[in-house]
Amino acid sequence: MKIADLNTDFPQWYQDVVQQAGLAENGPVRGTMIIKPYGYAIWEVMQRELDARIKATGAQNAYFPLFIPQSFINREKEHVEGFSPELAVVTYAGGAKLAEPLVIRPTSETIINDSFSRWIKSYRDLPVLINQWANIVRWELRPRLFLRTTEFLWQEGHTAHATKAEADAKTRQMLRVYIDFIEEFLAIPLVAGEKTTGERFAGATQTFSIEAMMHDGKALQMGTSHNLGQNFAKVFQTQYLDEKNKQQYVWQTSWGVSTRMIGGLVMAHGDLKGLVLPPAVAPIQAVIVPIKTDPQVDAAAKKLNQDLKKQGIRVKLDDRDSVSAGFKFNDWELKGVPVRIELGPKDLAEKKCVLVRRDTGEKHNFLLTGAVKEVKAMLADMQTTLLAKRRTELTERTVAVHNYDNLKVAVANGFAAGAWCGAANDEAKLKEEAKATIRAIPFDQPEKIGACVICGQAGRHQVVFGRAY
């Protein structure tokens, strides 16, 4: 099956690539998805790398229940207002009506605070640094595979601290962990900053976000880190006895990224042939394709396969005899495998092989004796090249704007950078008329902000505007 042209029908191109590359398909319940083995393999590579980075900050993994008493959700006013439209609630179980409805986990701040209120008694118990890998259910009215689904996978970190300063530092530290992971590992450059009050996580005092630009110029929120202040601590009585023997409320954070990152990979790096996976995150970094069934070629391919594995390269020998070499080439290009190694009788006679690089399509002949070294070099160069290319695109498609007309034109093609006065009604106007939002208030702010590009009043912040998924 052909995939749509990403330049003329980007939404259909995305759906085609996700399904034909074997990443995921729709589940039987609207809004759910089945993550297929290849898609889940990408998630496992992400999970291993990010889990190590999270643990390096001192966090420990735990697991909390999927079912949350509705009374827990109702305790924090902003939290319940923010999540009410998305909640899935169980009212019957075991053949009987439940005494109290149960909410299927939309996020875990409430149920984790219930535990924290029992675990934390003294300043000696702090900080508490917890992470969990889990599934989440938020009822989605406009589903799209990986980007917006009723059920998705993620990690969510939750921490409790003795002071506001410690919570502030943790919120920013975890945002930095996400930035480093996504830029270094997924080769996707980011715009980082604080969310506006209107875009803030329900129940948080501050939300920091990382935003990426997709091929079509739209923003994809790749992750968030929230400073919860003492909001949840006060409603759940999460307190500790300080060094002066006084009861104090803890200060808290939460932070998370999800399988949405897989959708980001597709939309940031993909091309007319399908997926283009950065080598660091590719489940298969190199595939060996024998051109013809031949005992000598097969033996050489198996040896090369073993040599690459010994060097830590995730490699696959495609020895299928039911399809042609041309079919295999197209199949692995669709799946985004970074390097393809072609080996046929003529190559073997010259003691060579052909290396094909996925992102550029370039072909090179190398001696078999040096193939492992060349594959490693090609993978390293592809990783850095993809990030550099995306950085250039982000820079070129982020336009400085000075009035509302310029803003509306810019967000149709990418991001816009300009001044905002801080008024909520300007945000509402932007969303209604330009179908855009303020994606982030960058941390680095100029000395002179200028006039708000929406209303012309004195600007309070320099912000990044964009249309988003």
83-109 average pLDDT score = 93
Q: Does domain 398-466 have CATH number 1.10.3720.10?
A: no
63 has a pLDDT exceeding 90:
yes
The pLDDT of residue 274 is 97
**Residue that is written with structure tokens 């759910």 in the block:** 32
Q: What is the dihedral of CA 437, 82, 445, 213, to 10 degrees?
A: -50
Mean pLDDT of the chain: 96
The pLDDT of residue 81 is 72
The pLDDT of residue 77 is 66
Cβ(89)–Cβ(248) below 8 Å: no
- Of all residues in the chain, the percent with pLDDT exceeding 90 is 94
Q: Could you tell me which residues come within 8 angstroms of residue 11 by beta carbon, excluding any fewer than 6 positions away?
A: none
Closest CA to 106 of 75, 133, 131, 139: 139
275 has a pLDDT exceeding 80:
yes
The pLDDT of residue 82 is 67
The pLDDT of residue 83 is 73
The pLDDT of residue 119 is 97
How confident is the model over 208-240, as pLDDT tens digits?
Answer: 999 999 999 999 999 999 999 999 999 999 999
Confidence of residue 80 (pLDDT cuts 50, 70, 90): low
Edge-to-edge, what's the strand order for the sheet holding 363-367? Answer: 315-317, 286-290, 339-343, 352-357, 363-367
Q: For domain 286-378, which architecture applies?
A: 3-Layer(aba) Sandwich (3.40)
Tokens of 165: 């300063």
Confidence of residue 79 (pLDDT cuts 50, 70, 90): low
C-alpha distances out from residue 3 to 212, 266, 325, 326, 350, Å: 24, 13, 20, 17, 37
The pLDDT of residue 191 is 98
287 has a pLDDT exceeding 80:
yes
Q: What is the residue type of 299?
A: A
Tokens of 114: 């219930």
Record the pTM.
0.96
How confident is the model over 150-199, as pLDDT tens digits?
Answer: 999 999 999 999 999 999 999 999 999 999 999 999 999 999 999 999 99
280-299 average pLDDT score = 94
Domain borders along the chain are 10-269, 286-378, 398-466
Class of domain 10-269: alpha beta
The pLDDT of residue 412 is 95
The pLDDT of residue 84 is 76
